[in-house]
């Protein structure tokens, strides 16, 4: 039976910990229940609530995705295909795979949120993105409840982007994903960030997927606040990609500016560096601010409103635009009434 609650606070359903009320909240445990939700096309769908900023009370349906299940679709000597329901917790899925020796997503350890958000956001960390191992996505169109399977190509993945954030935004509820993971001869990615430093400190010369997962967890815990202790959504902004000519001009003016190559004509500039360079890192503004250890992370110091966080993000964006001529984009989905 479909559970429904009225005038419910969503504080426990968003990692910012914002006390926003929803007029109607539906707890979805199986796909058939969608037909019982009125005005479902207007609904806000929440999984882990790790990539949303709620700016006001909601007077439209909210669907809490609680679809569960992990199923082995096929396997051979070196590979396995897993079908995972979208309401599963992402980090718990990574731990399940590491425990069973399935490689490919260990670098994505400790990313908050649900499995359904993973393809929507094309989540990535430490040199790996979900698109590297994703075979397909199944989803239900909310207008007529027709199911569709999207191949990885049809998802139109980009940097923290997919078709579900653009042309099909709000039209589908992702019900599950299929991952193709390695059972043997894993391709290990240890070159990004401080992974090699952590492994070296531990005296590990031939890393396993578990070693990499544990290193990533250690690094993330040292840099990022636990949402259970300090409300946040992880990285609030995307790392901007700019033309090399633009970067060269900035480099002549700001020799210390950081970058990563993208192609012959573009470079990626760390948004955290840009924000920190302007003095925002650790700055407290009212009940919100930029985290003291990671400038990219905006936090709720206990009583922040979504409006306060949004205003802070807009102030940061305006500062970076006027100083460097770079327009920051948010990773977080800002939800208005």
Residues annotated as part of the active site: 160, 235, 331
By the 10 Å C-beta count (0-12 exposed, 13-18 middle, 19+ buried), 85 is classed as buried
Element containing residue 117 per DSSP (H, E): helix 117-121
Residue 244's closest CA among 228, 266, 215?
266
Nearest alpha carbon to residue 119 among 82, 80, 143, 90: 90
The distance in angstroms from the start CA to the end CA of the chain is 28
Alpha carbon 238 to chain centroid, angstroms: 11
Spatial contact of 232 and 302, defined as CB atoms under 8 Å apart? no
Give ∠ CA 170-47-188 in degrees, rounded to 5. Answer: 105
What is the per-residue burial (b if ≥16 Cβ within 10 Å, else e) of 270-281? bbbbbbbbbebb
CA atoms of 303 and 27, how far apart (whole Å): 26
CB proximity list for 8: less than 8 A, separation 6 or greater: 21, 22, 25
């Amino acid at each position: 039976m479909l559970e429904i609650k009225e005038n419910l606070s969503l504080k426990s359903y968003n990692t910012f910990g914002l006390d926003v009320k929803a007029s109607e909240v539906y707890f979805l445990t199986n796909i058939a229940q969608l037909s019982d939700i009125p005005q479902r096309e207007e609904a806000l769908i929440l999984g882990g609530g790790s990539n949303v900023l709620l700016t006001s009370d909601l007077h439209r349906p909210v669907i809490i995705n609680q679809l569960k299940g992990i199923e082995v679709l096929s396997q051979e000597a070196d590979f396995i295909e897993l079908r995972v329901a979208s309401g599963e917790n992402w980090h718990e899925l990574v731990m399940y795979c590491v425990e069973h020796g399935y490689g490919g997503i260990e670098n994505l350890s400790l990313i908050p949120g649900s499995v359904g958000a993973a393809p929507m956001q094309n989540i990535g960390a430490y040199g790996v993105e979900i698109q590297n191992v994703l075979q397909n996505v199944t989803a239900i169109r909310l207008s007529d409840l027709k199911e569709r399977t999207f191949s990885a190509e049809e998802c139109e993945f980009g940097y923290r982007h997919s078709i579900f954030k653009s042309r099909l935004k709000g039209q589908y509820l992702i019900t599950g994903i299929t991952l193709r993971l390695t059972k043997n001869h894993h391709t290990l990615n240890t070159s990004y960030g401080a992974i090699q430093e952590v492994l070296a400190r531990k005296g590990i010369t031939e890393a396993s997927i578990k070693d990499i997962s544990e290193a990533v967890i250690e690094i993330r815990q040292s840099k990022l606040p636990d949402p259970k202790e300090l409300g946040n959504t992880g990285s609030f902004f995307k790392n901007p990609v700019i033309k090399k000519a633009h970067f060269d001009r900035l480099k002549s003016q700001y020799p210390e500016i950081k970058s990563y190559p993208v192609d012959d004509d573009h470079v990626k500039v760390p948004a955290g560096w840009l924000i920190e360079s302007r003095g925002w890192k650790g700055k407290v503004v009212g009940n919100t601010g930029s985290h003291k250890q990671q400038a990219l992370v905006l936090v709720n110091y206990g009583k922040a409103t979504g409006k306060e966080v949004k205003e802070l993000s807009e102030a940061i964006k305006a500062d970076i635009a006027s100083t460097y001529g770079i327009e920051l984009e948010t990773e977080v989905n800002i939800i208005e009434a």
